[in-house]
Amino acid sequence: MADRQYAFRKHTITLIILLVGFVFLVRLFYLQIIDQTYKLSSQNNVLRFVTQYPARGTIFDRNGELLVYNEAAYDLLVIPRQAEIIDTMEFCRLLRLDIESFRARLQKARMHSRYRPSVFLEQISKEDYGFIVEKLYKYPGFFFQSRTLRKYPQPIAAHILGDVGEVNNNDLERDKHYRMGDYIGKSGIERFYEKYLRGRKGLKVVMVDVHNRDKGSFQEGRYDTLPVTGINLHLGIDAALQYYGEKLMKNKIGSVVAIDPATGEILAMVTSPGYDPNLLVGRVRGENFNLMLKDTSKPLINRAIGGTYPPGSTFKMINALVALQSGAITENTQFSCQGKGSQPIRCTHDHSSPLSVQLAIEHSCNPFFWNTFRNTLTNNRFKNQKEAFEYWNKMMKAFGLGHKFDTDIPFEVAGNIPSREYYDKVYRGSWNALTVRSLSIGQGEILLTPLQLANLAAVIGNEGYYYPPHFVKQIGEKNELLPEKLTTKIETGVEAKYFKLVKQAMLDVFEGGGGTARRYKTTAFQAAGKTGTVQNPHGKDHSMFMAFAPYEKPTIAIAVIVENAGYGSTWAAPIASLMMEQYITGEVKRPELEDRIYNTAIY
């Protein structure tokens, strides 16, 4: 009996020992395999995994002049579990933080992870870094990580170049390349060419002691990887022309777009008011962005691609070209003009009558273009006016109007060319040329961006074709990465002989005795252009001008809009003339005209 009792106890004790051993084994498996807490904590006590951020690619203008480069900066990281701060006030003074900001940042880091490093204070300058790093040994759990900040040697082209900021949740979901605390292009060229500019991150494994001091690479850098610098970009922008355009547009509201007709490369894109791109760099980025967001002059809006305007008289050439191509008029067709007594659209200029298309463009005769537009919609080659209108609409699109160019221009607006369906809905199917007569002189529902207007000037200068407007000229050193669509020639479908007629008329705008821009011609080259005075229901008319030069083989096509400035010949035309002179000759020899533009504020 006793032996059986002892045997039972022995089995029970053995079972308990095995059960306890099993529990320990399960717990050990959990701690070593499943739960990473202690592993992370121990590793973080001796090893630090530091991301090596690459320098972003630099950006140059068409002549190799530097537009954007990198400057050294540092992020202060924290591992919350290791953070020990005895004197919070001294630490805040060291970092120039207030207590509330310190607590908020530390709490954010804890929410991210108590055992992994995260950014505590970002974008510390190299000057501040040198001062802080000497005392950082007092604060376990904190260490620096190097990165770069964008720097702009000239305060120009902010809307073109864009800016760089910290990734948000949408960025993290869209691209797995990024981690919290990384930076990404937020707008402009920085955004569109982010995958080229960002480079590839590296990793450095560093040993640290209990005082958080760097003790060198782990296993002589066996596990380190080097960062790869981003790819450089060369833009079509001419820095000197961009600077000059921004100077001319200072204290004015509007925009200037200049294009190389031979390539579609944008030579300058000015929007006014603008801002210094250095304002959106570093720790002041958020504060400055919010200030500009509240600014009533709206400096963050790129009016060159986001502003839409009725084109006014600058639209008359395209109506003439479509009418000539469709046979609605010929180069010898004449219409009479009764000046201010003309019906249904009066004329605002004094000139001879009747007149042909060439004189009508030179003198900007409204009645001529009303009759031209009416002939287009009543053309016998079409079944009815609505079919003729569909042809007109299709030709507008062929000229690059009413749709985005879809190149490397972020946030571009399409503008508006009204469709047959739109008018059928508005007028319940009952409408004709007289109903939509305002389209004949570039008013009504037509809305164009300054970019589209500059491209229209390029189309006319090229006598019927264009290359999609774009910013980049070269990607990297060999340029094999340039997208094919940027170099694809687009034909309008209008014969070159009709463009020659319109070009001659635009030349007369500068050269003719009655030309509306004759006061701004220069002996250095011949230019062709067209003024526009655009009705503005909210105040004074907008001043508008489009042109190209030199006349025989254009190297620049330009559009200028100065809001609330009145006649196109008063402000937009001289600005365009000065910029063409600057680009073609490299200097301007009309100081009196420059001074008038510089010293006049228009709002």
Sheet containing strand 214-217, strands side by side: 47-52, 202-208, 214-217
Residue 40: which pLDDT band, with cuts at 50, 70 and 90?
very low
Long-range contacts of 431-439 (CB under 8 A, 24+ apart): 432/377, 432/385, 433/373, 433/374, 433/377, 433/378, 433/385, 434/344, 434/374, 436/389, 437/344, 437/345, 437/370, 437/373, 437/374, 439/319, 439/373
Q: Give yes or no for a cis peptide into 273 (omega within 30° of 0).
A: yes
Terminal Cα-to-Cα distance of the chain (whole angstroms): 112
Q: Please provide the DSSP assignment of 487-506 as one string.
A: G--EE-S--HHHHHHHHHHH
pLDDT at 24: 77
pLDDT at 244: 98
User: Would you say residue 45 has pLDDT above 60?
Assistant: no
- Across the range 121-133, mean pLDDT stands at 87
Per CATH, domain 239-275+305-598 is 3.40.710.10: yes
What residue ranges do the domains of the chain occupy?
49-235, 239-275+305-598
Residue closest to 187 by CA, chosen among 346, 408, 26, 457: 408
Element housing 481 (H / E): none
Task: Report the C-alpha gap between 299 and 246 in whole angstroms.
Answer: 13
CB 345 within 8 A of CB 442: no
- What confidence tens digit (pLDDT) does each residue in 274-303 have? 999 999 988 788 889 999 999 999 999 999
pLDDT at 166: 86
pLDDT at 247: 97
User: Would you say residue 254 has pLDDT above 50?
Assistant: yes
User: Would you say residue 273 has pLDDT above 70?
Assistant: yes
For CA atoms 85, 90, 92, 94, the dihedral sign is: negative
Instruction: List residues bridging with 335 in a β-sheet.
Output: 355
Strand locations in 2-117, DSSP E?
A: 47-52, 59-60, 66-78
Which range scores top for mean pLDDT: 98-102, 339-343, 459-463?
Answer: 459-463
The two structure tokens encoding residue 375: 């002939």
Q: Where are the alpha helices (DSSP H) in 327-409?
A: 357-363, 366-377, 385-398
- What confidence tens digit (pLDDT) does each residue in 59-89 have? 999 999 999 999 988 989 998 888 888 889 9
Ranking 125-129, 151-155, 462-466, 468-472 by mean pLDDT, the lowest is 125-129
Question: What is the chain's mean pLDDT, rounded?
Answer: 90
Residue 4: which pLDDT band, with cuts at 50, 70 and 90?
low
**CATH dotted code for 49-235:** 3.90.1310.10
- Across the range 477-481, mean pLDDT stands at 74
Looking at per-residue pLDDT, the higher value among 214 and 317 belongs to 317
CB 212 within 8 A of CB 140: yes
Looking at residue 344, the DSSP 8-state letter turns out to be S
Sheet containing strand 254-259, strands side by side: 266-272, 254-259, 556-562, 542-549, 528-534
Angle at 293 between CA 292 and CA 295, to 5 degrees: 60
Task: Report the C-alpha gap between 86 and 283 in whole angstroms.
Answer: 26
% of the chain residues with pLDDT over 90:
63
The two structure tokens encoding residue 35: 């739960």
pLDDT at 36: 52
- Across the range 546-575, mean pLDDT stands at 96
Looking at per-residue pLDDT, the higher value among 179 and 390 belongs to 390
pLDDT at 23: 79
User: Would you say residue 38 has pLDDT above 70?
Assistant: no
Neighbours of 35 (CB within 10 A): 12
- What confidence tens digit (pLDDT) does each residue in 482-530 have? 888 899 999 999 999 999 999 999 999 998 877 788 999 999 999 999 9
Single-letter residue type at 326: S
Q: Give yes or no for a cis peptide into 54 (omega within 30° of 0).
A: no
Buried-exposed string 281-318: b where 16+ CB fall within 10 A, e elsewhere: bbeebeebbeebeeeeeebbbbbbbbbbbbbbbbbbbb
pTM, full prediction = 0.87
pLDDT at 210: 61
Residue closest to 325 by CA, chosen among 497, 442, 453: 497
Residue 549: which pLDDT band, with cuts at 50, 70 and 90?
very high
Long-range contacts of 515-523 (CB under 8 A, 24+ apart): 515/362, 516/362, 516/364, 516/568, 516/569, 516/573, 517/545, 517/547, 517/569, 517/573, 517/577, 519/569, 519/574, 520/573, 520/574, 520/577, 520/593, 521/577, 522/577, 522/581, 522/589, 522/590
User: Would you say residue 561 has pLDDT above 60?
Assistant: yes
- What confidence tens digit (pLDDT) does each residue in 573-599 have? 999 999 999 999 999 999 999 999 999
* Coil vs helix vs strand at 347: coil
Please, is 584 exposed, middle or buried when counting C-beta atoms within 10 Å of its C-beta (0-12, 13-18, 19+)?
middle
User: Would you say residue 31 has pLDDT above 80?
Assistant: no
pLDDT at 349: 80
% of the chain residues with pLDDT over 70:
94
* Coil vs helix vs strand at 270: strand
Place of tokens 């070159």: 496
- What confidence tens digit (pLDDT) does each residue in 186-229 have? 999 999 999 999 999 888 887 776 655 666 777 777 778 888 99
User: Would you say residue 42 has pLDDT above 70?
Assistant: no
- On the CB side of 21, CA atoms within 13 Å amount to 6
CB 449 within 8 A of CB 304: yes
Element housing 124 (H / E): strand 118-125
The two structure tokens encoding residue 159: 């809307």
